[in-house]
Amino acid sequence: MSGFAEPVSRRGLLAGSAVAASAVALASCAKGDESGQASADASADASRAAQAGDAGSTGPENREETMGGDIVAFDGKHQAGIQTPVQAHVELVGFNLKKDTTARGAAALMRLWTEDARRLCTGENPLGSLEPELSTTPANLTVTCGWGEGFFDTVDVAKPSWLRDIQAFDHDDLRPEWGQTDIVLQICSDDPFTAAFVLRHMTRAGKDYADVAWIQQGFSHAYGSAPKGVTPRNLFGQKDGTVNPRSEEDFNEQVWIEDGPFAGGSAMVVRRIHMNLDTWEQLDRAARENSTGRTLDTGAPIGAKDEFDPVDLDARNEFGLKAIDENSHVARAHPPAEHPEQKLLRRPYNYNLPPTPETTQRGELSNAGLIFICYQKDPTTQFEPIQARLDEADRLNEWITHIGSAVYYMPAGTEGETYWGESLIRS
């Protein structure tokens, strides 16, 4: 459908394209000798470029050595892009439905976007797209869709009880330009070019139904720069995601909604966090680790040896004092014994933008931070109580400020030709 209001328009375009293609084919037969010579010349040019060394090449010589064709399955019980290992790049896009978009239009948008995302994630060209060359390298592409309160209002479907604005916190400095939207698309890929093209395509395809409210672009470590399974780092140098769920049992307990009409889905919370790198870098390593509660090199809890060793808040150092500061980030985030459910899946990305007049006035050299994306069953029993403890006394509050906030229901996965949230919209 790609930019066309009705499905018939896209198929009409394809029919017209087929007629045009037939005419081109007839014309090409008359020029067979010329095209054959051109093909031979092109092959010769390619051979000479290979011998001389192609200065424009950015990858391995053999396609088999690249990961451009790597595919993450689009369909399944849950949407891809949640349990999927973090890719190198994210285009997180918030959309608001147009005022004249009806429930029928919102359903058409979901059908359209799902069809196109399914094709893009498998390296296929979406129907009606004239850029087939731009969709051939998915590079572990995932496109994950979420609904805000406004979408539920439009389709006149009861929303989850937890789907509301995240409670206000004292250290927040929330900006409206990074606030709640009706829909979110999380577009992730190990190829920034692919992520950018998919962003453009999905925006263009949905233009009759929704407008872009904001785009948050982020990055993690490049594909292959570290062994698989290594916890990524944020711009403070901290490993971010050490306590994430690992097993299917963990995901079932912490992330996936199990019962009711929203089963198979999850809750996404997005927090845009500004990080003051200048004042953070004034600290020595000991002070940085004390604030975090973990060593910077291994990510191990202070007093332990391995990143994944249990956090022991009662451990003592050689002076008999608590090894982990009770107001360190890890101590404040740690779930109390009486609330083991206070855990979640962290899927953060870094951002680094040009300084603004505001950051320059504050004496900062950078405009950097974290796109903190997390998934859970219910933010009111998971994210909010964790963040309340952090807001109260986390030592990292001196160097970070939450400037954006949004929450979404992420529908269950799809099968065959079904679209995102179809069972809810049709109910």
Whole-angstrom Cα distance, residue 76 to residue 80?
A: 8
Q: What is residue 315's three-state secondary structure?
A: coil
Catalytic residue among 182, 240, 325, 394: 240
Query: How far from chain centre, in Å, is Cα 13?
Result: 32
The secondary structure element, H or E, covering residue 404 is strand 400-410
Q: What are 189's two structure tokens? A: 């890929």
Residues in the chain: 427
Whole-angstrom Cα distance, residue 210 to residue 206?
A: 6
Rounded to 5 degrees, what are φ and ψ at 309? -65, 145
Residue 284, amino acid: D
Catalytic: 240? Answer: yes
* Rounded-to-10 torsion of CA 370, 374, 380, 384: -30
Q: What is residue 60's three-state secondary structure?
A: coil
Residue 301, amino acid: P
Whole-angstrom Cα distance, residue 98 to residue 209?
A: 6
Q: Cα dihedral sign for 325, 326, 328, 334?
A: positive
Q: Within the chain, how many helices (H) and strands (E) appear? A: 12, 9
User: Do the beta carbons of residue 336 and residue 306 sit within 8 Å?
Assistant: no
* Residue 218, beta-bridge partner list: 90
Whole-angstrom Cα distance, residue 146 to residue 185?
A: 7
Placement of tokens 């394209």 in the chain: 17
Residue 211, amino acid: D
* 50: number of Cβ within 10 Å: 11
Q: List residues with catalytic annotation.
A: 240
